[in-house]
Structure 1
Amino acid sequence: MRALAVLLAATCALAPVTGVLAQAVDLTVVPPVPTDFKAKTTPWGEPDLRGGWPIDHLNGRTPLERDPAQGNRAFLTEEEFAQRDEAVQQLAQRYENEDKTGTMGIGHWAEVANANRRTSWIIDPPNGRLPAFTPEGQKLSDEMRSTWAAGQSFEWTDDFDSWDRCITRGLPASMFPFMYNNGMRIFQSPGLVALQMEMVHETRLIPTDGRAGIPTQIENWLGESRGHWENGNTLVVETTNLKPGPSATNIGTTGSPRENDTPISAQAKITERFTMTSQDTIVYEVTLNDPVVFTAPWTARLDWQRDDDFGIFEYACHEGNVQVRNYITASRAERAQEQKTGD
């Protein structure tokens, strides 16, 4: 009963495919986003999305990409869900275990939420996996540098990606859950939506007043967004003018492939849909179309839950701003020692 309750809470708009009912339906079918809810409006007449929408409840080992063995199944079987739930419970126990032994490690650092039944956040392509890189996309990926990649040496600042350097996690990466700092808060004023993100303390400004875009020559780490309203409960956001390059972005969430080496190009376009399905739930969908990097577009879907009490605190990143220097000096010393040993 506890697992069923967790599942019902976690799947939100996907509630028709939950618990024991999942065995009686097609697990490859993702139900359409409900559109019958009528959102409250702001004093100036726009759908009111204001409030806290942290995505920490999604940090329950659901991967970005699906296990190939699961094929086109968007949902776990009962057995698979039980296995994930057990794994999550073991992770959640780490904090208490460290307290008992007087230690402080990843259990005090990483957050974990309840398991849910989704096999992957990606819903299109139907196999739940990122499309293949184009030849140029593979080239850009091979050029990316990051502390997340094993066996890499560091000589200068361009050996680090933008997340390493506390500049940005990029898009669409910033919209996916991570092991910590999952706070999200939406603010609105007439003709403008602001989306505050706890990670790196960035705020996305999204005009909804119909203003024209900026020249393509101007590139921003989070791009340039324009929003409009559909059906009285959906905010549609289109983002272009993303800063390209081998260190521009990485996916960086559970089940991310390629050790954070997913680049983005100047031709990339991101389309997001924020659909209120109740006063306390939003279905978030994001599609990345980057013909330079990927052979096809891909779409992910996440279910948000309101939590207006979620506190967003300082994001220190690396304290004292010494970690990049430490990586470089340590890497240089390591290479000098290897050369000396080799001689």
Structure 2
Amino acid sequence: MQLRKVCVLIAALTCSSLSLGQALDSYTVPRNEHGQPDFQGSWGVRFSTPLERNEGMPLVLTPESAKGFTDALHSFVFSENTDPDIDIFGPQLLVTVKGEFRSSVLVYPENGVLPYNELGIETSSYGYFNGEGYDGPEQRPGVERCVEGWGAPPMRGFPYQVYYGFVQTPDKIAIVGEETNPLRVIHLDGATRPDAIRTFEGHSVGRWEGETLVVKTTHYSDTIPQRASTGRPMLISAKAEVTERFTRLSETELHYQYEVTDPEYYTDDFRGEFSLIRDDSGHIYEYACHEGNYSMVGALMGARVQEAEVRATDNNSN
């Protein structure tokens, strides 16, 4: 059933992409009450395409290659799944940009690989997402503790649906994410921030260039440099500058591009892109991660059980 859905999806996108260029050229971006390009509403990101590209793969995939790639992702992620009722929600979806199937989010460097320097390689290999231990919740990673989401720039994708709600005023744009409900504010009025005030999300200042929203983000904290992604983590230091471009291509597609400059961890800049897809339901639900975070309790309880077993073994050996 899932593979049939893949074939239908690929066929539909292939047919639609033939006339997509003409459609984009003729599309008129709607304006909001402030005269700005209207991005307001709910937009979703959902794909299994990795951040980096596998060696030897082209950036743009043919429909046949795209199906082979999704089949491989399906086999890798769900190789041990024998329950036909399990919802296979992610591996059949690839990044599409202007009708093209992509093998990676990164479009530069040309090889689609993060240009880490030696410190970047060392830091990216650190098992932050595995946590530092199980003595208490403070040793677990931010994602597991419901305090770190996917909304900090640059935006990233994930196999399950991640929604973002856009709200525009004359001098601000607010973006709220569904996962962990992060709130990001883009300042269109040039508002600045003291250099000493630094956060995980940074400080974003935007401007309009025709139909495109251009956003520059600085003032990052380097307390947690790792940014979760599909594949190796992305690193963002306090020296990082991230430039994003949002362009509405149609009623249902919001094109997103970013460029990261960060000499702390990289030998070169890198760029990525994907599209956010319109969600007409318009609902961004409360994530309620803390209230439903039973896995945290289970992990800590499991650690206590293991400790008790070790103590019992030591006592018996004595």
- Tell me how far apart the structure 1 counterparts of residues 268 and 218 of structure 2 sit (CA, whole Å): 17
Evaluate the alpha carbon distance shift between residue 122 and residue 312 of structure 1 in structure 2; reply closer, same or farther with a 3 A threshold: same
Are the counterparts in 2 of residues 64 and 122 from structure 1 also a CA contact under 8 Å?
yes
Structure-2 residue corresponding to 1:28: none
Query: C-alpha displacement at 1:159, in angstroms?
Result: 2.8
Partner amino acid for 1:215?
P
Structure-1 residue corresponding to 2:50: 63
User: Residues 39-69 of structure 1, C-alpha deviation per residue, up to 9 Å, x if partnerless?
Assistant: 222222222211221113xx2x322111102
Query: C-alpha displacement at 1:124, in angstroms?
Result: 0.6
SS of 1:128's equivalent in the other structure is coil
1:243 maps onto 2:230 in alignment: no
Structure-2 residue corresponding to 1:121: 105
Are the counterparts in 2 of residues 174 and 199 from structure 1 also a CA contact under 8 Å?
no
Are the counterparts in 2 of residues 162 and 168 from structure 1 also a CA contact under 8 Å?
yes
SS of 1:201's equivalent in the other structure is coil
SS of 2:257's equivalent in the other structure is strand
Query: C-alpha displacement at 1:323, in angstroms?
Result: 4.3
Structure-1 residue corresponding to 2:142: 162
Are the counterparts in 1 of residues 41 and 282 from structure 2 also a CA contact under 8 Å?
no
Are the counterparts in 1 of residues 42 and 165 from structure 2 also a CA contact under 8 Å?
yes
Give the TM-score of the pair, scaled to structure 2.
0.79
Are the counterparts in 1 of residues 213 and 246 from structure 2 also a CA contact under 8 Å?
yes
- Tell me how far apart the structure 2 counterparts of residues 320 and 305 of structure 1 sit (CA, whole Å): 28
Partner amino acid for 1:118?
R
Structure-1 residue corresponding to 2:302: 330
- Tell me how far apart the structure 2 counterparts of residues 79 and 334 of structure 1 sit (CA, whole Å): 48
- Percent identity over paired residues: 27
Once the two structures are overlaid, the 10-residue window that deviates more, 328-337 or 300-309, is 328-337
Are the counterparts in 1 of residues 89 and 159 from structure 2 also a CA contact under 8 Å?
yes
Query: C-alpha displacement at 1:263, in angstroms?
Result: 3.7
- Tell me how far apart the structure 2 counterparts of residues 134 and 171 of structure 1 sit (CA, whole Å): 27
- Tell me how far apart the structure 2 counterparts of residues 180 and 84 of structure 1 sit (CA, whole Å): 18
Evaluate the alpha carbon distance shift between residue 79 and residue 42 of structure 1 in structure 2; reply closer, same or farther with a 3 A threshold: closer
Matches within 5 A, 1:293-312: 293-312=265-284
1:183 maps onto 2:157 in alignment: no
User: Residues 158-208 of structure 1, C-alpha deviation per residue, up to 9 Å, x if partnerless?
Assistant: 432221211122565772222324111211011111112111111211111
Query: C-alpha displacement at 1:312, in angstroms?
Result: 2.5
SS of 1:302's equivalent in the other structure is strand
Evaluate the alpha carbon distance shift between residue 182 and residue 76 of structure 1 in structure 2; reply closer, same or farther with a 3 A threshold: same
1:40 maps onto 2:24 in alignment: no
Query: C-alpha displacement at 1:230, in angstroms?
Result: 0.3
SS of 1:226's equivalent in the other structure is strand
Structure 1 counterpart of 2:114, from 108, 113, 130? 130
Unmatched 5+ residue regions in structure 2? 1-6
Evaluate the alpha carbon distance shift between residue 339 and residue 294 of structure 1 in structure 2; reply closer, same or farther with a 3 A threshold: farther
- Tell me how far apart the structure 1 counterparts of residues 67 and 256 of structure 2 sit (CA, whole Å): 26
Give the TM-score of the pair, scaled to structure 1.
0.74
Evaluate the alpha carbon distance shift between residue 170 and residue 327 of structure 1 in structure 2; reply closer, same or farther with a 3 A threshold: same
- Tell me how far apart the structure 1 counterparts of residues 153 and 213 of structure 2 sit (CA, whole Å): 19
- Greater strand share, 1 or 2? 2
Partner amino acid for 1:75?
V
Evaluate the alpha carbon distance shift between residue 4 and residue 314 of structure 1 in structure 2; reply closer, same or farther with a 3 A threshold: same
Are the counterparts in 1 of residues 70 and 92 from structure 2 also a CA contact under 8 Å?
no
- Tell me how far apart the structure 2 counterparts of residues 176 and 143 of structure 1 sit (CA, whole Å): 20
Structure-1 residue corresponding to 2:286: 314
Structure 1 counterpart of 2:244, from 259, 267, 272? 272
Partner amino acid for 1:84?
F
User: Residues 106-150 of structure 1, C-alpha deviation per residue, up to 9 Å, x if partnerless?
Assistant: x34845654452111110111111112432x34444555323x7x
Structure 1 counterpart of 2:65, from 57, 80, 91? 80
Structure 1 counterpart of 2:199, from 212, 215, 220? 220
- Tell me how far apart the structure 1 counterparts of residues 165 and 93 of structure 2 sit (CA, whole Å): 21
Evaluate the alpha carbon distance shift between residue 173 and residue 251 of structure 1 in structure 2; reply closer, same or farther with a 3 A threshold: farther
Aligned length: 299
Query: C-alpha displacement at 1:315, in angstroms?
Result: 1.0
1:209 maps onto 2:202 in alignment: no
Are the counterparts in 2 of residues 145 and 158 from structure 1 also a CA contact under 8 Å?
no
Unmatched 5+ residue regions in structure 1? 17-33, 100-106
Are the counterparts in 2 of residues 167 and 200 from structure 1 also a CA contact under 8 Å?
yes
Evaluate the alpha carbon distance shift between residue 268 and residue 170 of structure 1 in structure 2; reply closer, same or farther with a 3 A threshold: farther
